[in-house]
Chains A and B, each alone.
Chain A
Amino acid sequence: MTEEQAALMPANPKMTARDVKVFYGTNQAIKGVSIDVDMDNVTAFIGPSGCGKSTFLRTLNRMNDTVASARVEGTITLDGEDIYASSMDVVQLRARVGMVFQKPNPFPKSIYENVAYGPRIHGLAGSKADLDVIVEKSLRRAGLWDEVKDRLSDSGTALSGGQQQRLCIGRAIAVEPEVILMDEPCSALDPIATAKIEELIHELRGRYAIVIVTHNMQQAARVSQRTAFFHLGELVEYGVTSEIFTNPRQERTKDYITGRYG
């Protein structure tokens, strides 16, 4: 990392990545990415399809472990701890670094069970009453409580797409993560549901370090304070969102945000 790049990184990083390379078999998807993510800002990853932004996001909570052919090089730390070290428990890591996926994927269980599942497997609730409190708090924070409080026993899959996605966010919040990774959380939603999710991201900012992958540049401009532009597996530019969109340093970034390609 050059000094110029280092100067653009946030001051108190929650997660840091240094020279991360990801290979699928012999095909290199990420070519040495270094980036810091902090608690105070929402960080957006933008870039054209296939640029590796989702792949990189999934290295942050080791979801790539489930892909047999994937191999990760470089170091990624959470609070200074190497998450790829053998001492790191991946189950615990994923509880600390939660994830919201592109397609809403609630469990085919009741709304209550969807949210309660995480706290239950991690033993976060001592009693049924505790669990009720956690479920209510998480659904309130996800902005879903008022809509579903009378039908918590209904199936989570019976909700609308936007509600399902907020349920998934509530489910991620319920285990009290430190970081929330969102992989194009609005790409399957209509504009109104998208607006609600964006509003929710605003409210969650500061409580959790939020990283959001989006292919929608307006969305990145709206929700994030820092933006990273990925292209062909490289991190082209990382900086304050307003700077990236108004005054990009790199030619490629400029071409992308002005719609030259993508």
Chain B
Amino acid sequence: MTPPIIQTSGLSKVYPGGRTALAAMDLAVHEGEIFGFLGPNGAGKTSTIKILTTLSRPSGGSASVAGFDVSRDSASVRRAIGYVAQEAGVDYFLTGRENLVLQGRLYHLDRRVILQRTDELLGLFDLTAAADQLVSSYSGGTKRKLDIATALLHRPRVLFLDEPTLGLDLQSRQALWAYIRRLNASHGMTIFLTTHYLEEADKLAHRVAIIDQGGIKAMDTPDRLKDGVGGDAIRLSFEAGAPGPPVWQALRSHPLVIEVIAEGESLHVVVKEGRDALPKLLPVLDAVGAGVRSITVSRPSLDDVFLKHTGKAFSVGETGSGGEGWWSKWQQKGASEPVQGGSATADSPATASSAAGGENGSGGWPQWNEKSADGGPRVGTEPSTPAQGASTKDTWPQGPWKGTT
């Protein structure tokens, strides 16, 4: 196995004045991953990213990016990385095109190469129309796109994104996600992003590290992190309204089922692993003639993972989109919000099982599911395999990026 493209060992950062931002952090990010660095404000995310991008020196320990030590060989690190900070660092009084060309100059690229890549990136980000306008006239989303485009001009191996969607509206945010996926899938680019949006880490990252008070509390795929919390809920509704006793009986007696709870005319079936259990439960339901109308699989959220590993809730005030754990809603209201459309709700058992078993899919990314973006329960259908294992064909959704400014 190739060595990690980002590696830190015992990394620490103490600021003058004594505030410890990082305490002995060990981290390994592999080439081709989208790696999400999730934590509340002040957890040490930006301190880490500043050390990895050579903007700040570690107080102790070591870090390497693309095989170069960030302290001893910072010049080589800089050539291998692109960095998009929280503040869009593009120059307001230049046009988009001028910003891109200048960036190329600062990497000492050949003029022809710069002009060619500038056109390429402008097209890729749908910035061609705005290319010759001053950045000061750009919207927040457009500015961010330009910022990312400039960070790509020298074709970095690793792209660092510090809170890339901070302050963007939902539409721009989703468009940006689609683009990040696309970069990762088509160029195999390693993407390291910090975020304090649970949803963002969940949907975008192949692996997530949960950071709090300068240390990593948990690190794994979002799915495995959530698996570690407890069980999934399968929500069933039926053609004939409320299910009869045979259905209850069949589910209750099944070895994979932990619990069955009624919610109006629907049923919540708690299982350890929704994706595994669903294909096995469907024949059982068919056998008793249940007449299933729709199936939804809900999973615990990263919020619950955070709670488990840090002993505190991810600050509600700052997530805005993190939402509560599905079971707390479920306990209060006896219901989770219905998920409609997309691949979440299936009309027939056959499509339901293929949607729920998305991990063995072709590597194509599913279309956006608007509903799961609102902090409600979501369906664990996004594949969690890094780009290396995924198809490198153009399988990302084209839609969301287009026309969003």
> Do A and B form a real pair?
no
State the B residues within 8 Å of A (CB). none
